[in-house]
Structure 1
Amino acid sequence: MAKQVLVLLGTKKGAFIAQSDTARRSWKLRGPYCETWPMNHLVANPATGTIWGAGGNEWFGPAVWKSTDLGETWTHSSNGLAYAEGEEPIKAVWSLGSANGSLYAGVQPAGLFRSDDAGESWQHVENLQKHPSRPHWNPGGAGLILHSLVIDPNDHGRIWIGISAAGVFYTGDGGKTWEPRNLGTRADFLPEGENYPEFGQCVHNIVMAPDMPDRLYQQNHCGMYRSDDGGKRWISIEKGLPSTFGFPAATHPRDPETLYLVPLNGDSAGRFVPDAKAAVWRTRDGGSNWQAMRNGLPQENAYIGVLRQAMATDRLDPAGVYFGTSSGALFASADEGENWTNIAQHLPPILSVETLVVDS
């Protein structure tokens, strides 16, 4: 049976879907969906085709949207997405992850919620906020956000989260207990001598290598890192990159040694691609060596940024790689980053990119 590739886009003005066959040469764009709510992250269940969207802001409030017909129609729910009375209200849902019939949502201000009915209702995973470090969590530039959710596909009780700017936290029992896992990651913005704290790092993104649940990659405000023991210790892999600063990271669907990044020129120099020349940087050996992939990307006056969730790969062979920019352009490669094409432009700022491969 023929297959279709869907690229799921969360933007500041609703959700969009780019769709193609497996040749990935011609694309059709659909949307905007979700009543043009700010949509921070779209994810899909590859087994059922259900799509969920994390949305909202301080004006709309938080909600998770759902489509069971590949984006043609949507419903949404905020049932249970609230802290106790008297606590700071939730502004938005920022990240989603699913495993073993449960759906998890990361919110702002940072906290974790779980749904056991496909997003119709939510329960607070409250022990995360009971961690002793919680009074000392400080917001990143966009606020105190739980933006990364990584779930072990073989053991759904193992979950890693990233919070800006509190760092990486891990649970091995489905959220009953939590521990910080930041050893080896820097916090250059702290006073000298305090740059390697137990928590307080500004993690930007965490991704898991395929078939290696203890191999994690982390793009941080202060460097690029790899862990081979589930985050207990991180090693720097930023040598060879043009910058220690960036937001997104995407793993290859089958090769745990292959990773894609879009470094930016620094936190205080404009936050666009270095020298205004767009490149996706690829490693084939776990970060020991890096190569800039530029063919088809703009190499002049490209003052573009790519946000933390706005990069993804598909599961085809060869793998497709996709990234969206804060200026509303979507780029795609059908050959693992060797060549690139602009498949959509003039969209609202793109906040997230994920993929779904389905039967036609």
Structure 2
Amino acid sequence: MGCMATGENFVLAIGTKKGLWLATSQDRQQWSFSGPHFLMSEIPSIGIDTRDGRTRIMVGVRSEHWGPTVAHSDDLGATWTEPEQGAITFPADTGAAVERIWQIYPDAESRPGVVWAGAEPISVWKSTDGGEHFELNRGLWDHPHRSEWGAGYGGAAAHSIVVNRAGDNVHIAMSTGGVYRSLDGGTSWQPRNKGISVRFMPDPYPEFGQCVHKIAADAVVEGRLYAQNHHGVYRTDDNGENWNSIAEGLPADFGFVMLTHPRREGTAWVVPLKADGERIPPEGHLAVHRTDDAGATWKRLDSGLPGREYNSVLRDAASVDSAEPAGVYFGTRGGTVYASADEGESFTEVASHLPDVLCVRAAVISGVALQVPERAAAGGA
């Protein structure tokens, strides 16, 4: 028999090529797992919404038979709800169909119920009912640049969404197309890629067309964002008007991950990979790199990680929680998941032998009662 634990608890959601695994913990050291949920379905996106005093886990599910949808659970995966008509469905006049849901982004505490999503083909969606139904953003869908956007290696993806505190300033990133910004809450969009290079194009600094892999906002400085590009790591301090390289000090400027601290100014994490043809950790040595000064310097973090690792880490296969100190989590294409309870200073393996890890999300779930077994799972699933 187990006991009920309340207070500050943690949930870790792991989306893979063949289903979803959920884990809960009291201390970020011992984890209890459930799953697989949605076995044999791809889970490329997860959003954990802790607003309004509840914990809602939303997952982008892609079934080879039934297609893509967004399912949600309000009881840590004990039950799941899927809308009969599909949470994300293109209007008939577009002639389009959803291929994959790449991003699920709960908005700010001040806008409960608002959830954004990014999908393939390149599109942005907005829900006002907690992720149960989404409406297509026509400003981006009808954008005159659409015919010139392309597909990255993984598909034509709107994969990053960042909304400012006021809700009127929205940045998205797509592969391929680059960063676009809206100053009116999503009604109109303009490319904002000045300074981000495209080494493989005749014009290395086009207005748009970049293959930006991930963007994230600084926790404190309004208008400061960070970007991991196909080649290059960048920062903007003027709301996307100009991007400057912050790659000096990293072993490689390629990668997919970009994470920022939930509270502290200037702190971000990346996972460098060697590219283009290899896409493995440099020298086969997996490491996270953290900056605490907005990219002026970087610190290598590999305590607890394997001495040899040749699997890559995908753009959404990494996450931070909001605890103090912040937890850092990531999973590899080899099916191993690592967690750090000290902002990356040391890592432990929490799951292994899973299918390819596509998405990882972690959250603090204060006040939620957990059923804790006498021997909680640790180091595997």
Q: CA deviation at 1:215?
A: 1.3
Question: Judging changes above 3 Å, is the alpha-carbon distance between structure 1 residues 327 and 136 closer, same or farther for their aligned structure 2 residues?
Answer: same
SS at match of 2:142: coil
Report the residue type matching 1:98 in the other structure.
P
Aligned to 1:63, the other structure's residue is in SS state strand
1:207 offset after TM fit, Å?
A: 0.7
Aligned length: 354
Q: Secondary structure at the match of 2:201?
A: coil
Amino acid at match of 2:318: M
Correspondence 1:167 to 2:174:
no
Would the aligned equivalents of 1:11 and 1:352 in 2 still touch at CA under 8 Å?
yes
Which residues of structure 2 form unaligned runs of 5+? 1-5, 370-381
Aligned to 1:271: 279
1:280 aligns with 2:288: yes
Aligned pairs (5 A) from 1:77-156: 77=83, 78-85=86-93, 87-99=95-107, 100=111, 101-152=113-164, 154-156=165-167
- What is the distance in 2 between the residues matched to 1:295 and 1:254? 24
Q: Distance in 2 between matches of 1:256 and 1:295?
A: 24
Gaps of 5+ in 1: none
SS of 1:127's equivalent?
A: helix
Query: What do the CA deviations read for 1:244-282 (whole angstroms, capped 9, x no partner)?
Result: 1000111122212111110001121x2111111111111
Q: Does 1:19 align with 2:24?
A: yes
Match of 1:68 in 2: 74
Is 1:52–2:58 an aligned residue pair? yes
Q: What does the per-residue CA deviation read over 1:181-220, in whole Å, with 9 as the maximum and x for residues that have no partner?
A: 11110011102xx000010000100111113331111001
Per-residue displacement from partner, 1:36-61 (whole Å, max 9, x unpaired)? 42111111112221111122166432
Matched, 1:158 2:165: no
Letter matched to residue 199 of structure 2: D
User: 2 CA distance for matches of 1:116 and 1:138?
Assistant: 29
One of 177, 180, 186 as aligned partner of 2:191: 180
Secondary structure of the residue aligned to 1:169 is strand
Q: Which moved more, 1:82-91 or 1:173-182?
A: 82-91
Which of 295, 310, 319 aligns to 1:312? It is: 319
Which position in structure 1 is the counterpart of 2:353?
A: 346
Which residue matches 2:331? Answer: 324
Structure 1 residue 119: Cα displacement: 2.5
1:34 maps to 38
Q: Which residue of 2 aligns with 1:7?
A: 12
- Looking at structure 1, the residues matched to 65 and 257 of structure 2 have their Cα atoms a distance apart, in angstroms, of 27
SS state at 2:271 partner = strand
Tell me whether 84-93 or 279-288 shows the greater mean CA deviation.
84-93
Provide the C-alpha distance between the structure 2 equivalents of 1:151 and 1:271, rounded to a whole number of angstroms. 30
Residue 66 of structure 1, CA deviation? 0.5
| Pairing of 1:170-209 with structure 2 (within 5 A) | 170-191=181-202, 194-209=203-218
Q: Does 1:221 align with 2:230?
A: yes
Q: What is the percentage of aligned positions where both structures have the same residue?
A: 39
Distance 1:140 1:64 in 2: 23
CA offset at residue 14 of structure 1?
1.6
Partner of 1:240: 249
Letter of the 1:292 partner, please give it: R
User: What letter is aligned with 1:110?
Assistant: I
Post-superposition offset of 1:86: 6.3
Q: Which runs of 4+ in 1 moved over 6 A?
A: none
Question: For each residue in 1:62-119, what CA deviation from the matched residue of structure 2 results, as whole angstroms up to 9, or x when unmatched?
Answer: 2011111122211123145124356342211111112222221111010111222223
CA separation of 1:58 and 1:176: change in aligned 2, threshold 3 A: farther
The residue identity in structure 2 corresponding to 1:18 is A
In structure 2, C-alpha distance between the alignment counterparts of 1:155 and 1:71, rounded to whole Å: 32
How far does the alpha carbon of each residue in 1:263-321 deviate from its partner, in whole angstroms, 9 at most, with x for none? 001121x2111111111111111111111111111112x11100001111111111111
SS of 2:167's equivalent? Answer: coil
| 8 Å Cα contact 1:45-1:51 kept in structure 2 | yes
Q: Secondary structure at the match of 1:212?
A: coil
- Rounded to whole Å, the distance in 2 between the matches of 1:195 and 1:278 is 30
Q: Determine if contact 1:37/1:60 at 8 Å carries over to the other structure.
A: no
